[in-house]
Structure formats: structure tokens, C-alpha cells
Structure 1
Amino acid sequence: MIEYRVTKYDPANRNVGGASTLPEWTSFSDIGCMFNGSPLSEAEYLQVENAYIVSALEFLRESGISSLAVRELENHRGAPLTFGEGSNLSLDQLKTALSRILREEFWCKLEGRDSFIHIGYDYYMYVGVPACCSRAEQVASGLGLFVEPFQSPYGGMGAA
């Protein structure tokens, strides 16, 4: 399996420990807060959120993956959901689920037999696919994201 970290964070702006050295927004709730002298607008947030979703789905499409299952669902806010633990979500359903996970409405791992998408703290996304996805890497880069080989801290396939 090939694992990637896909983020809006430029690796050139990281310290030795890997943390960003710049003040950066990390959440939907940061809309309206000041970063680098300007408030984060909803439009700017949505552009980045869309880049994450388009990129995640491109990795799956390039790998021939049409669905992922919900694992370790956490819904502490009681968000209304049309699925539950173990549900298989199609690419269209994943698009909506990823948006809601990125907005911290709920959290879960999205996993298949040989693939996954994990959304982590501070707007980090981890993607696992069966083989290298050079087209998806280019799509993500073209949308302003940074793609790096990186093992998900949320565990590989079947992790509990």
C-alpha cells in the first residue's frame, strides 16, 4: 500500500519536528479569524475544503475504488447522519462525508480492503491506496495542496 499525507501546509515552512512555523488556520471554525493580516473568508475556506475532497476522490478513482466503509464513527455532537458504523459510502456519499468530517461535525475513518482516507487534527488528510497515483498527486498539487509519502498516524487497514 502507498500512503500519502495531503495538506495545505507547505513542507518548506515546517520545523524539525514537522510542525508549521507559520500561523495557519486549521478548522472550519477559524472562518473570520485573522491569519497573516486578513480574516479567513468562507470562500477561501471552501476553496481549500473542495481541493481536499477533489484530491481524495481522485486518489480513489485512479485506484479503481468506488466506496469506503465508515470505521470508528464518533458523533459526539449528535449530527444527523444517514449512515452508521460499517456503512459503505459511494464516491458521491464520500464527497459529503468528507466535507462534514473536515468541518468537524463528526469523525470517522473511511476504509476499504486496500485503501483509506483519514482526516486528522489540524486539517491533515492521509490517503492510502494500493499503488502510486501520479495523476492524483498532480491534481492535488494543481489545487495548491502538498502531497508527501507519509504513514497515517491512525493506523493502516483494519486498525481498531
Structure 2
Amino acid sequence: MTLDDLDRALLRLMVADAAQPASALGRQLGLSQPATWRRIRRLQEGGILRGRRLQLDAERLGFGVTVFLGLKLATKGRVSLEDFERAVGAIPEVQVVTHVLGLYDYRLRVVARDLADFERVLRRRIMTLPGVGNVEANVMLSEERRPGPL
């Protein structure tokens, strides 16, 4: 799919505030509301726009601790990756599961209310998953930059 300058400008506006109505986006781009909708629909159908996400503040919702786990499977051949991914994906505190190449097989982003809550999640949920071997935990101290536009 080829993007023109208006498509790129539209994407920049939507990254800044995805809740803007098509009419407001169109005014900023010098387009009508229907023309803006057509561009948005084309970007969706082309797979460029894959949805709009609501971003919640985990700390204000009572989840004051974020931990990044490096997780190595102990028995790669005995446990299917799909079974592990399905099991880890069912844990609500696990926000992101990334299959990686390197020292660990997976990187997980886990949220918890506090360190005691994280320890409970680690012991009762994560360490009991099929095939879990070595685990390394890194507690997030601060987040300086959040994911943004490409």
C-alpha cells in the first residue's frame, strides 16, 4: 500500500489523539469528513491502522509495580510453544508476551499491586506454567519514553 503526504499527516494526527472525530481530522487536513473517512477506511483495510487503543494509567488503577521477566523454557522439546503462550496469556497480570531470540525464550511485562502481589503472581501463576525454567526479574523504576509514532 502506497501512502501519500495526506495519509502520513492523518496518521500523525491520529497518533496524537485517536479519539478525534473524522470531521475534526478533516478540518486540520483541509479534507471533508467523508474524504477523511474514506482515507481512514483505506488505511484500516490496508492493515496500516489496526485499531485504536485506550491507554490506562496502571499506577492510578492500583498497579504500582511493573516487572519485566526474562523467561527460559526448561524443556523446549517437551512443551509446545503454543501451550505455553496460551497458558501465560491467560494470566491477567501479564500485559505483554514477546517471543525473543537470545538468552531467554520470552520477555514478559507483568503488573502487580506491590512487590508482595508480584511474588504471589510469580510463585503461583508464572512458575507453575508448563516448561518454565530460568526466570530473571527486572523491576521497572521509571518509564522515560512510551511507545509512540514510528
Q: Which category of TM-score, normalised to the shorter sequence, fits these structures? A: 0.3 to 0.5
- Tell me: higher relative CO, structure 1 or 2? Use CA pairs within 8 A at least 6 residues apart: 1
Q: Considering only CA atoms, is the larger Rg found in Structure 1 or Structure 2?
A: 2
- Report the structure, 1 or 2, having the larger helix content: 2
Normalised by the size of structure 1, how large is the TM-score? 0.32
Normalised by the size of structure 2, how large is the TM-score? 0.34
- Report the structure, 1 or 2, having the larger strand content: 1
